[in-house]
Amino acid sequence: MIRVLLAEDMHMVRGALVALLNLEKDIEVVAEVCSGDKILPMAAEYLPDVAIIDIDLPAKDGLAAASELYQQLPDVRTLILTSLGRPGTVRRALDAKVNGFLLKDAPADKLANAVRSVAIGRRVIDSELALSAWETEDCPLTPREAEILRLAANGRTVADIAAELFLSPGTVRNYLATVVTKLNARNRVDAIRIATDSDWL
């Protein structure tokens, strides 16, 4: 019997996934969590064979939780189940050492088969997604540049960013100008679009 931990914040989706997986004779959902910070404690308590993790979770990002799980409980295999199929997201998942990456719009039998494959040590990643992930460039931004662009993307003004990061407004403008140049963007809005599409923010 393959023991599964399911991390999904949407109650209806989680309930449907549990019902679907429990229909399989060789799969049993032994634990459910609705936030990323609960994944490691529940995995330590229930010792599942596979953790199915959504990326967009409250309290802790699913990929951060998967990486933590890999470091603390390496015998627990991880399968990312998400609606975010952007190449940058897949790349981040691969960097986090996940064992599988599946989109939520995949057929139901594909999920059960992915759980089985991941449980025996295979990697399950859609070939087109994997190829696009390897073709995606590394983020050219420094952590500080990405942080400033992220704040700008959230609607913060130069003055707000400067105050929050203890920088002068001129320094913030210089960072933003550097970001626009590095991303070959037309302007700040275009830089935000490029970075978001590449999953660098």
Domains, the chain, in order of start with CATH, read 2-135 (3.40.50.2300), 143-197 (1.10.10.10)
- Cα distances (Å, whole numbers) of residue 70 to 10, 87, 186: 24, 21, 40
Percent of the chain with pLDDT over 90: 72
Q: What angle do CA 75, 60, 42 make, to 5 degrees?
A: 40
Most confident by average pLDDT, 3-7, 65-69, 87-91, 126-130: 3-7
Q: Quote the DSSP letter at residue 120.
A: T
> Which pLDDT score, from 0 to 100, does residue 125 have?
85
Q: How many helices (H) and strands (E) does the chain have?
A: 10, 6
pTM: 0.71
pLDDT at 122 over 60: yes
Task: Give φ, ψ of 53 to 5 degrees.
Answer: -130, 130
Kindly tell me the burial class for residue 192, based on how many C-beta atoms sit within 10 Å of its own C-beta (0-12, 13-18, 19 or more). Answer: buried
Closest by Cα among 191, 89, 86 to 140: 191
